[in-house]
Amino acid sequence: MILTVTPNPSLDRTYEVPALSRGEVLRATAERMDPGGKGVNVSRAVAAAGRRTVAVLPLGGAPGALVAELLAGQGIEVVPVPVAGATRSNIALAEPDGTLTKINAPGPELTAVEARSLLSMIRTHARSAAWIACCGSLPRGLAPEWYAELVARAHLAGARIALDTSGPSLAAALRERPDVVKPNAEELAQAVGRPLATLGDAVKAAEELRTYGARAVLASLGADGQLLVSDAGTYFGFAAVTAVRSNVGAGDASLAGFLTAGGEGPDALAAAVAHGAAAVRLPGSVMPSPADLDPSAVTVTADVPVDRPLREPAS
């Protein structure tokens, strides 16, 4: 079973528009409503693969009730932690060329009691989890060290931890040695405090995160592919995508693919790349099913082209 933790979930509304024109009335050509948040998306992708997943998340108000209903409808076991504030609602505007404009609400502020309840619920379900995926930003009321405490508690329960966060939360959690961290290019550059212009720069940054405490680093580099750096070696995975419909949740789909494939080694990296490539071809934050995957389009190699420039250098 894969347990996911999403401290700041959301109700996501995505509208497809012909073009984004400031100050104009925009008429959507399509719309979607999905449960959102990084950990939520991981659970959705795991469930789409036919695997059992449990989602622990704080939920409040009518948006929170709808998030729980939508997740249950996708075959996900929901463990809600009731909070007084309403779950946030986010809006995304998707243009035909793949450009996405997002408005993310701040979400509720958790009280000290609610924060302890969330940790307690995670501990209750951790012992039966093969992996715990802790994902996303922290809501108001949770200190940056909250993820570090969660990683420590999960390890005591015997579970492996995949952490997808950034900034002070990531820095604080590294000392507890998460089993894998999953930054994107910008987050990786931020974590080491320098720009990344080539794949070689990204490899060195990932190696540096390992010296800080990460046991493995799965780095999503967008159109430039993905890197896996661990004790087993360094691997580069790539899949060409000709048409991008939406990149919302692509990194989350990648993490789900990585974990469902075992969470280590080149085969897991290949699954991560296949899931990410499939996700960007789907609308909104739709998570790929096995039918959407094209493993034959994925290349994984230990011969990393370190001199290859990143198409969108991270700074």
Q: Contact at 8 Å (CB) between 281 and 244?
A: yes
| Amino acid at site 194 | R
* Helices and strands per DSSP (H, E), number in the chain: 9, 16
DSSP state of 219: E
CA distance 270 to 268: 5
Active-site option among 12, 164, 201, 252: 252
CA distance 123 to 177: 18
252 is annotated as an active-site residue: yes
Nearest to 146 by CA among 129, 163, 131: 163
63-96 b/e with 16+ CB inside 10 Å = b? bbebbbebbeebebbbbbbebebbbbbbebbbee
Backbone angles phi, psi at 30, to 5 degrees: -160, 155
The residues that are catalytic are 252
